[in-house]
Amino acid sequence: MIDDKVLDQILPVPDRDELKNDLQEELQEEGFAITNYSSGGIFYTLMMIAIQIRIDLVNLLRTVLNNVFVSHATGDWLELKAADFSKKRKQPVKTQGYITLLRTEAGEAIRIAKGDIFKTEPDLLGEELRFLALENSTVPADALSYRVLVEAESEGSGYNVPAGQIKRSLTHYAGIDEITNESGWITQEGSDLEEIESLRERTLNSWAELSTQPIAAKYKSVCEAIPGVLFVRVDDLHPRGQGTIDIIVTGTAGTPSDGLLAQVQAAADAIKGPDDNVLAKPSDTVPQDIAVTIWIPADASDEGIETKATAILTELLRIRKDRSLNELNHADIIYAIRKDISISKNVKVTEPPQDVVLDNNKVIVLGSVTISIVRG
């Protein structure tokens, strides 16, 4: 927003009482026929309506002025301004990937119908994430493992679940012993509607795209416009030798899928200089085990605390743009648990033993979680 002091210099909002007094003086000097300006009178009411209209018009002009600049525009105003720079807000995308059906012994062929539903375990609120099979397929009679292509029921990055979370099916498959989503199961990252500040940043970076030869900001702007890309870091300091440029990509699910990397590589190749050697690389995900001890009152129930604490840590380390993906601080863990578990008297983090700060191309994801509860 433009600072109010600046707006007051350009378009000051008039004072209602001053406007009233000035208008009355002008009318009296001109010999206006109506002389009764008493509060509650008909003319007084009409005069105050006119004054309020003027004040409202000034406030409208201040709003319009604030929103004609990309740096200050908000909401729909910014989307309209971004269109002037050929930028559009990235729309939400559904997660796609493969779930795996496992059995210990070969048996009969099993038919998987398009639309069959697979889902995660219920969370603390009883909500499940559902995924639908995208095509009709058949598990061969001699197959012990079979992959099924599925798509999330709705758009959003929340469906980019870690491996081992999709465990159930609404359809019973005779002979199948286990359902799971293995590591690297995602083929298309799900994403949310782009945040307005992200659109603003990309729009302001549009000037970099006017460069005759691509610069780091141009690569960043073009590649971050791809749905599923959370952000891009460009290493243009010849990481693999003279003329080389590495584009390190973090997707909405952390490490980007091969398909997303291919899109980024294609976008970078389309604008690269004649002598540039450009390589799109994934950011590395680093699982981090977390162990915490939670103290609760001696007479308090510990039912559900372990599950709730695990859910809190899962949300804390969820991949999102406003998080420092390569950092994990004890203070953040303690604050998150104390804030959402009201009966906790104290929280101590024993793993990791200290704050974790990794290289910029690393993304910390949640590993195993150990919750210890102590009364006293």
List beta partners, residue 294. Answer: 347, 373
pLDDT at 263: 94
Q: What is the DSSP string of 257-272?
A: PHHHHHHHHHHHHHH-
Question: Most distant CA pair in the chain: distance in Å?
Answer: 105
233 backbone dihedrals φ, ψ, rounded to 5°: -115, 125
Residues in contact with 237: Cβ distance below 8 Å, sequence separation at least 6, in sequence order = none
pLDDT of residue 210: 80
d(CA 11, CA 5) in angstroms, rounded, equals: 10
The residue among 293, 247, 288 whose CA lies nearest residue 268 is 247
Residue 293: predicted pLDDT: 94
CA-based nearest residue to 132, from 159, 151, 156 = 151
Nearest to 354 by CA among 368, 333, 338: 333
Q: Answer positive or negative: Cα dihedral of 129, 134, 136, 139.
A: negative
Q: What residue ranges do the domains of the chain occupy?
A: 4-67, 94-188, 211-282, 285-375
318 DSSP assignment: -
Backbone angles phi, psi at 89, to 5 degrees: -70, 130
For residue 360, CA distances in Å to 197, 232, 324, 357, 363 come to 21, 11, 10, 9, 8
Q: Which CATH number applies to 211-282: 3.40.1710.10, 3.40.50.300, 3.90.650.10, 3.30.300.30?
A: 3.30.300.30
Please give the DSSP secondary-structure letter assigned to residue 156.
Answer: S
- What was the pLDDT predicted at 154? 95
Nearest-angstrom CA–CA distance, 89 and 80: 10
- Give the global pTM: 0.74
Q: In this structure, are residues 249 and 283 in contact, taking their beta carbons and an 8 Å threshold?
A: yes
Alpha-carbon 360 to chain mean position: 19
* pLDDT for position 125: 66
- What averages of pLDDT result for each successive group of 10 residues across the chain (376 residues)? 83 88 84 80 87 93 91 91 91 95 92 95 80 95 95 93 90 93 92 91 85 85 91 88 91 88 93 89 89 90 86 87 88 93 91 91 87 88
* CA distances, 187 to each of 59, 226, 287, 364 (Å): 49, 15, 20, 21
